[in-house]
Structure 1
Amino acid sequence: FGFRWKPIDDLMVRGNWSEGFRAPSIAELFTGQSDTFQTISDPCNGSLQGVPNADRPASCAAVPAYAQGNTQIRTTTGGNPDLGPEKSISKTLGVVYSPSWAAGLDISLDWWEIEIEEGITSLSAQTIVNNCYRNNDPAACALISRAADGQISGLKATPNNVGSIFNEGYDLTVGYKLPETSFGKFRFVWDSTYLVKSTVDGNADGLISEDPVQGDGGNLVGEYIGGSGRSNNWRIRSNLMVNWEKGDFGASWFVRYYSSQEEQCQGVIFGQRFNLCSDPNRFTNLDSNDTDLLPDGPRARPQNHIGGTTYHDAAVYFNAPWNAKITVGVNNLFDKDPPRSASTFANSFDPQYEVPGRFIYFRYAQKF
């Protein structure tokens, strides 16, 4: 249910509450399974390439303290026919302001909160081993196979139903259509999303999964988790569009912004590839609320900074008199490279960023 209320002509207040239900898709259920080799730092190793592991949790007592040499572990991905449906509750509350003193200006600000129970998600291999040994999650442990010497021989990272997924944030939209001038008509639209909180309860025990970068559990905002179904947790995503029209001609300029993120690079450091980690000597202090079963005190938490990224797109078009529209455009006009990630597959870049290079296109649309 929802409501809309206009206390004055220029202002509207709106809100919604809704329940959701989603059965798993055919792809999530029945995509063929295959193996990949994700980079993992095993919390239970005794040492990795000669570097002693000082953070071995007590939950690893039954695992021999082997010396981990290979960090790329066989990981099974694909569909999971045992998935169940997910359910959600969504809440929104916002205002829309269209001032009479500025014709063409519209401003909307909405708060939203979404909680998904039994949410369907694919966790990265590193998150699975962290959840098993640092968060004491038996469901995660069931996905890990070990050889007799203690080394991980295989890991299953297909989609699963987790306890709950929680997200909270704000949406802001500002649109302004200027009065027509001798230079033509101009229109501006600015859309932004600000993510306040993002958490995952992996096994429905009411405890939030450990934050892999900060190591203190909880909020994943601003953190990148390579190889998972929720890899990117940008705090801010923002789009700006400027449009100009005069007669049958027009042009548009789009700016897309993704805020910076941090990622853990423990395995990268142990793998002696220091150049892939921007802060290899980082330590953090953990308090008594930490759930990774280790004593309190300074802990090695090397991380890598993924910088903010901005893309520019441009297009020009012509509204032909025979009821057609002809457009020529270019995406990633300034040839911006995606930011490199240390934990994504092959230490490359996340596919939600643009593929390197400019993309030039021609479009013809005909109405009949």
Structure 2
Amino acid sequence: MSQVFRAPSISDIFAGAASSAPTFVDPCIGYIPGTSPSSENNACGAPTGATAIPVGGTQATNSTQANAIVSGAQYAGYSLKPEYGKSFDFGFVYDPHWLAGFSTSVDLWRIYLNNTITNIQAQTAANVCFSDPSSIYCSLIHRYSNGQLSTILTPTVNLGRLDTSGVDFGFRYRFPHFDVMGVNPGNFGIQFDSTYISKYNDAPAPGISSVAVIHNAGIYTSQFGNFARWRALGTLNWDRGPWNAMWRMRYIGHIGVPIQDFGTGAFTEFHFGAYVYNDFSIGYEIAPINTKLQVGVNNAFNKQPPIFTQNVVINANTDVNTYDVIGRYYWANATVKF
């Protein structure tokens, strides 16, 4: 067990403002001053600038997006604090004497953080304020006099609690040297590493039952990223004299992407299958001049990224941080040691 601690970075605090247009369902539709519960006032009424709401209440708009401003904490006047928590790890490494060149490892882990540092989502800020009128997020909401949403600030904040756990597994094996009909085929080795995420839960407002815990394991969202439950990396290595080669396989497990029904505000999870990328490389070492040459191809079979449907919570049609968006590409490098 160990203590974990992270202070906010310069960009977390001082990043400038930028416009955004996230999907949004206003919890204040139908709000009527003096008739609706007074607890909704800080999210829907005069404190936000809504001083002339029509008799029939705040009306729905044709837009399914909010005018949001993403920024560091300072821009929104938010005082950012360090995040802190604990991590628990238990694992072992096994090197069997009866199989030379082989080793395997298993690690079980759990991490929880309080005051997690992240950009708050427009929907989260509105929902939390609507449920908790004393929330500091109420100051982020700005409305026109008729109650329609004008702007919502989405700065970097300390957002609730994060709880994640999983297991890492890997093995390595260096094959014993052998000859094939008197010919030396070289040396071979394999390596495999994988991670399984059993949970990745974010509680934006712990203790407020109306603000749901977000279960991110196996899900992709713009706020938290891609948390495919399974990820793995397998490598086959070969070398013989100055020559070497590698075949690498990158595995990304299947994910769900939430799609929102703007009529009801409910989410439906669309599923996208697992991905495997194949990379190949070959190299040659020129020992007299301390130089190594490498050429290779990544995503050799030109696998294209998944295309997400419109109106998803990520405001994008794929995940550029996880998948290869340019398809197959070739590379070469030279390493010289002095």
Class of the TM-score when normalised by the shorter of the 2 chains: 0.7 to 0.9
- 1:20 offset after TM fit, Å? 2.1
CA distance in 2, matches of 1:58, 1:335: 57
Alignment-derived partner of residue 260 in structure 1: 254
Match among 318, 329, 349 for residue 318 of structure 2: 349
Alignment-derived partner of residue 78 in structure 1: 71
Alpha carbons of 1:65 and 1:266: their partners in 2 closer, same or farther (altered >3 Å)? farther
Match among 290, 294, 299 for residue 323 of structure 1: 290
Alpha carbons of 1:152 and 1:312: their partners in 2 closer, same or farther (altered >3 Å)? farther
- 1:361 offset after TM fit, Å? 1.3
Alignment-derived partner of residue 103 in structure 1: 100
- 1:219 offset after TM fit, Å? 3.1
CA distance in 2, matches of 1:58, 1:177: 70
CA distance in 2, matches of 1:309, 1:135: 42
SS in 2 for 1:39: coil
Alpha carbons of 1:135 and 1:341: their partners in 2 closer, same or farther (altered >3 Å)? farther
Output aligned runs, 1:54-93, within 5 Å: 64-81=57-74, 82-93=79-90
Output aligned runs, 1:35-184, within 5 Å: 35-45=19-29, 64-81=57-74, 82-133=79-130, 138-181=135-178, 182-184=184-186
Aligned-residue CA RMSD in angstroms?
Answer: 2.8
- 1:259 offset after TM fit, Å? 1.4
Stretch moving more, 24-33 or 336-345? 336-345
CA distance in 2, matches of 1:359, 1:41: 41
SS in 2 for 1:250: strand
CA distance in 1, matches of 2:112, 2:152: 28
Q: How many residues align?
A: 306
The residue type paired with residue 277 of structure 2 is Y
CA distance in 2, matches of 1:143, 1:41: 16
SS in 1 for 2:12: helix
Alignment-derived partner of residue 13 in structure 1: none
- 1:325 offset after TM fit, Å? 1.0
- 1:308 offset after TM fit, Å? 2.0
1:219-264 Cα deviation digits (max 9, x unpaired): 32112223x1x12222111111111111111111111111122222
Alpha carbons of 1:191 and 1:337: their partners in 2 closer, same or farther (altered >3 Å)? same
What is the percent sequence identity of the aligned residues? 32
Tell me if structure 2 keeps the 8 A contact 1:222–1:233.
yes
SS in 1 for 2:66: strand
CA distance in 2, matches of 1:352, 1:314: 21
Match among 197, 200, 204 for residue 202 of structure 2: 200
Tell me if structure 2 keeps the 8 A contact 1:199–1:208.
no
CA distance in 2, matches of 1:43, 1:250: 61
CA distance in 2, matches of 1:309, 1:87: 34
- 1:172 offset after TM fit, Å? 0.5
TM-score under structure 1 length normalisation: 0.75
CA distance in 2, matches of 1:98, 1:208: 50
Alignment-derived partner of residue 52 in structure 2: none
Tell me if structure 2 keeps the 8 A contact 1:45–1:68.
no
Tell me if structure 2 keeps the 8 A contact 1:124–1:225.
no
1:308 pairs with 2:277: no
1:282-307 Cα deviation digits (max 9, x unpaired): x9xxxxxxxxxxxxxxx954232233
SS in 1 for 2:123: helix
SS in 1 for 2:69: strand
SS in 2 for 1:302: strand
SS in 1 for 2:155: coil
Tell me if structure 2 keeps the 8 A contact 1:248–1:320.
yes
Q: Which 4+ residue blocks in structure 1 deviate beyond 6 angstroms? A: 57-61, 134-137
1:188 pairs with 2:190: yes
Stretch moving more, 108-117 or 29-38? 29-38
Alignment gaps of 5+ in structure 1: 1-16, 47-56, 211-216, 271-282, 284-298
CA distance in 2, matches of 1:188, 1:346: 39
Alpha carbons of 1:346 and 1:206: their partners in 2 closer, same or farther (altered >3 Å)? closer
Stretch moving more, 27-36 or 352-361? 352-361
The residue type paired with residue 84 of structure 1 is K
Tell me if structure 2 keeps the 8 A contact 1:221–1:234.
yes
Match among 307, 311, 331 for residue 340 of structure 1: 307
Tell me if structure 1 keeps the 8 A contact 2:167–2:195.
yes
CA distance in 1, matches of 2:260, 2:302: 31
CA distance in 2, matches of 1:207, 1:176: 50
Alpha carbons of 1:98 and 1:125: their partners in 2 closer, same or farther (altered >3 Å)? same
CA distance in 2, matches of 1:238, 1:136: 45
SS in 2 for 1:126: helix
- 1:132 offset after TM fit, Å? 4.2
SS in 1 for 2:11: helix
Stretch moving more, 303-312 or 320-329? 303-312
